[in-house]
Amino acid sequence: MQLSPEKLSELDEMAYQIRRLSVEMITYGKWGHIGGSFSMAEFLSTLYFQVMGVKPGEPDWDGRDRLVLSKAHGSPALYAVLALRGYYPIDEVYTYCELGGFEGHTDMTRTLGLEASGGPLGMGLSVAVGMALGMRFKENARGRVFCILGDGETNEGNVWEAAMSAAHYHLDNLIAVVDYNKVMAKGFVWDEMAIEPFADKWRAFGWDVIEVDGHDLAALADAFHRARWVMPRGKPIVVIAHTVKGKGVAMAEFNYKWHTHAPDPATADAMLKELARTYGRPELGYSKLGEPEVKEDFYGGE
């Protein structure tokens, strides 16, 4: 499957903007996960701007594809792509982690376009299985449910309960996407809890497997096209996206110290300028640089 140069350049721009907005949100919200947001940028861009059938103006449209972010700490990247896709104005992402705004982890009652709520790892694939069964009940053959999992997340037993059942129910309308960025919260996957042979595990559970460079937009578009239209044969499909945690900013790349960490405004400014140079964009820093900072200390007084 071939993408036009215009489409490729659109997907590339969206991936850049997903990273940009993730840094903006995490810095302004003073909390969040840069590494795991960056590693998803290309496949989120591809899913929302090439693969998935959605109507942002009609979010409850029954014929839509659905996406469950099981690694719900990657919320900044998802909030960014939903804004870019037109679910809400881009300015709304700055409510991230503010009281009454977008939640730190996904809360579907707060953010338009979210299909589920989450936070604790290991739970989203089961929800996606329920949605895929729901599509079957409604005899919707074209719809697909996408579920994004972290690599470390597959340490959770619930993932494999869900994987076993998806194969048992022959859910070839379910496409899991694993963000295999090799880095967990406090260390490396191979060191903390080895998951290899990873593709074989999914195959043994009855899934079809596609492995892809998770930062190659053309390869991703091709992988999702195959997963959606070419491969379905009564088996659920997993796209293992080989990614680099923190991809785009040198200090965060392949570095678990940037799993959960909010940069200070000056660092965010440097990160964003580096990101702009990497993407060959005009140098643009942190948009809220210089805004007075609220001290976080609180001891119960005035």
Partner 1 sequence: MAANDARGNAVEMRDAFGQTLVELGRQYPKMITLDADLHTSSKATMFKQAYPQRFIQVGIAEQNLFGISAGLALSGFMPFPSTFAVFATRRALDQIAISICFPNLNVKIPGSYVGLPTSRAGASHNCIEDIAVMRALPNMRVADPADAADLRAIMRAAAEVHGPVYFRIARLAMPPIFGADHKFEWGKGVLLREGRDVTLYSTGIMTTFCLNAADLLAAEGITADVVHLGSIKPIDRELIAASAARTGCAVTAENATINGGFGAAVLEVLGEACPVPVQRIGVRDRWADSGGIKELFTHHGMQPVDIAVAARKAIKAKGGALK
Q: Which residues of the chain form contacts with partner 1 (CB under 8 A)?
A: 68, 107-109, 115-120, 122-135, 137-138, 157-158, 161-162, 164-165, 168
> Distance between CA 215 and CA 264 in Å, rounded?
27
Nearest by Cα to 81 from 136, 34, 44: 44
What minimum distance in Å lies between the beta carbon of 115 and partner 1?
A: 7
Q: What is the DSSP string of 241-274?
A: EE--TTTTSGGGTT-GGGSS-PPPHHHHHHHHHH
**Which residue's CB is nearer to partner 1, number 174 or number 249?**
174
Straight-line distance from the first to the last Cα atom of the chain, in angstroms, rounded to the nearest whole number: 61
Q: Which is nearer to partner 1, 37 or 117 (CB)?
A: 117
Helix (H, G, I), strand (E, B) or coil at 168: helix
Helix residue spans in 86-188 (DSSP H):
124-137, 157-168
Q: Which is nearer to partner 1, 23 or 162 (CB)?
A: 162
User: DSSP for 172-219?
Assistant: TTEEEEEEE-SB-SSSBHHHHS---SHHHHHHHTT-EEEEEETT-HHH
Min separation Cβ 96 and partner 1, Å: 18
Cβ atoms of residues 118 and 50 within 8 Å = no
Q: How far is the CB of 24 from partner 1 (least distance, A)?
A: 26
- CA–CA dist 277, 279 (Å, integer): 5
Residue 272 to residue 267: CA distance in whole angstroms:
9
Closest by CA position to 67, among listed 121, 19, 17, 106 = 106
List of residues 6+ apart from 210 with CB closer than 8 A: 223, 226, 227, 231, 237, 238, 239, 240
* Smallest gap from residue 130 Cβ to partner 1 (A): 2
Choose between 157 and 301: whose C-beta lies nearer to partner 1. Answer: 157
Nearer to partner 1, 84 or 121 (CB): 121
* Closest CB 129 distance from partner 1, rounded Å: 5
Q: Tokens 């942002």 sit at which residue?
A: 56
Our CB check for partner 1 shows the closer of 15 and 145 to be: 145
Closest distance between partner 1 and the C-beta of residue 234, in Å? 18
CB of 133 to partner 1, least distance (A): 6
DSSP element (H, E) containing 240: strand 237-242
CB closer to partner 1 out of 17 and 126: 126
**Toward partner 1, which CB reaches closer, 118 or 214?**
118
> Nearest distance from residue 171's CB to partner 1, in Å?
11
